[in-house]
Chain A
Amino acid sequence: MASLDIVSLSKTLGTHAILKSVSLNVPDGAFMTLVGPSGCGKSTLLKIISGLELQDDGDVRIDGMSVSHLHPKLRDIAMVFQSYALYPHMTVYENIAVPLVLRRLALMARMPLLGKLMPGTAAVRQKIDSDVRTTADMLELTQLLTRKPVQLSGGQRQRVALGRAMVRDPKIFLMDEPLSNLDAKLRVHMRAEIARLHKRLGATFVYVTHDQIEAMTMSTHVAVMMEGEILQVDSPQRIYAEPADIRVAEFIGSPKINVLPGRVREDGALAVPGFTIAGRTQLPTGSQASVGFRPEHITLAQKGVAAPSATIINLEHTGPEVFVHASLEGLGAPLTFKLEPHQAMHLASGDQVGLGLSLGHAHLFDAQGKRAPFMQPVSEVVAGEVRYG
Chain B
Amino acid sequence: MADANFAPMLAGAHRARAFGATLSGWGLALPATILMLAMILIPTLVAMLLAVTDYQLGARSIQYIGLGNFAELLNDRVFWRAFNNTLIYTLMTVPTAVLLGLGVALLIEADAFGRGFFRTVYFLPVTALLVAMATVWEFILHSDLGLVNQLLARVFGISGPDWLSDPNHVLSSLAFIFVWQQTGYNMILFLAGLKAIPSDLYSAAKVDGADRAIDRFLMVTWPALGPTMLFVVLITTLYSFRVFDTVAALTQGGPANASNVLLYNIYREGFVYFRTGFASAMTMIFLALILLVALIQIHSFERKEKRS
Contact = CB atoms under 8 A, between A and B. Distances in A.
B237 to A, nearest CB: 24
B219 A98 contact: yes
Interface string A141-164: 000000010100000000000001
Given A73-B211, A103-B209, A164-B208, A87 B201 contact: yes
Contacts of B205: 87, 98
Given A87-B223, A89-B308, A102 B203 contact: no
A103 B198 CA distance: 23
Contact of A81 (B200, B210, B219, B308): B200
B211 to A, nearest CB: 4
Nearest to A75: B207
Nearest to B220: A87
B206 interface: yes
Nearest to A167: B208
Contacts of B223: 87-89
Contacts of A82: 200
B308 A102 contact: no
A50 interface: yes
Tell me if B's interface is mostly helix, strand, loop or mixed: helix
A85 B198 contact: yes
A47 B226 CA distance: 29
Given A87-B223, A88-B308, A98-B219, A52 B208 contact: no
A224 interface: no
B211 A79 contact: no
Interface string A95-111: 00011001100010000
A73 B200 contact: no
Contacts of B215: 102, 107
Interface string A45-82: 00100111000000000000000000111100111011
B204 interface: yes
Q: For A47, A77, A81, which residue has the most chain B Cβ atoms within 10 angstroms?
A: A81
Contacts of A77: 207
A71 B211 contact: yes
Nearest to A100: B209
A102 B59 CA distance: 72
B99 interface: no
Nearest to A47: B203
A97 B200 CA distance: 18
Contacts of A164: 204, 208
A83 interface: yes
Interface size grouping (class) on chain B: 20 to 34
Contacts of A99: 208-209
A150 B308 contact: yes
Interface string B183-222: 0000000000000001011011111111100110001100
B224 interface: yes
Contacts, number: 68
Contacts of B308: 88-89, 148, 150
Interface in B24-51: none
B230 to A, nearest CB: 14
Contacts of A103: 209
A73 B205 CA distance: 9
Interface in A86-129: 86-89, 98-99, 102-103, 107
Interface size grouping (class) on chain A: 20 to 34
Nearest to A79: B207
A50 B209 CA distance: 12
Contact of A88 (B208, B209, B224): B224
B207 A50 contact: yes
A76 B198 CA distance: 23
B214 A107 contact: yes
A73 B209 contact: yes
Nearest to B209: A102
Given A88-B223, A88-B224, A148-B308, A79 B204 contact: yes
A86 B201 CA distance: 7
Contacts of B206: 51-52, 71-73
Q: For B207, B215, B224, which residue has the most chain A Cβ atoms within 10 angstroms?
A: B207
Contact of A102 (B198, B200, B210, B220): B210
B203 A79 contact: yes
B211 A85 contact: no
A81 B224 CA distance: 19
Interface string B119-137: 0000000000000000000
A98 B208 contact: yes
A74 B198 CA distance: 24
A235 B178 CA distance: 67
A98 B210 CA distance: 9
B207 A87 contact: no
Interface in B69-108: none
A85 B215 CA distance: 16
Contacts of A150: 308
Given A148-B308, A150-B308, A72 B207 contact: yes
Contacts of B224: 88-89
25 contacts: A51-B206, A51-B207, A52-B203, A71-B206, A71-B211, A72-B206, A72-B207, A73-B208, A74-B211, A79-B203, A81-B204, A85-B200, A86-B204, A87-B201, A87-B204, A87-B205, A88-B224, A88-B308, A98-B205, A102-B208, A102-B219, A107-B215, A150-B308, A164-B204, A164-B208
Interface of B: 198, 200-201, 203-211, 214-215, 219-220, 223-224, 226, 308
Q: Ordered nearest first, which 5 A-B pairs have the shortest CB separation? A: A102-B209, A85-B204, A89-B223, A85-B200, A99-B208
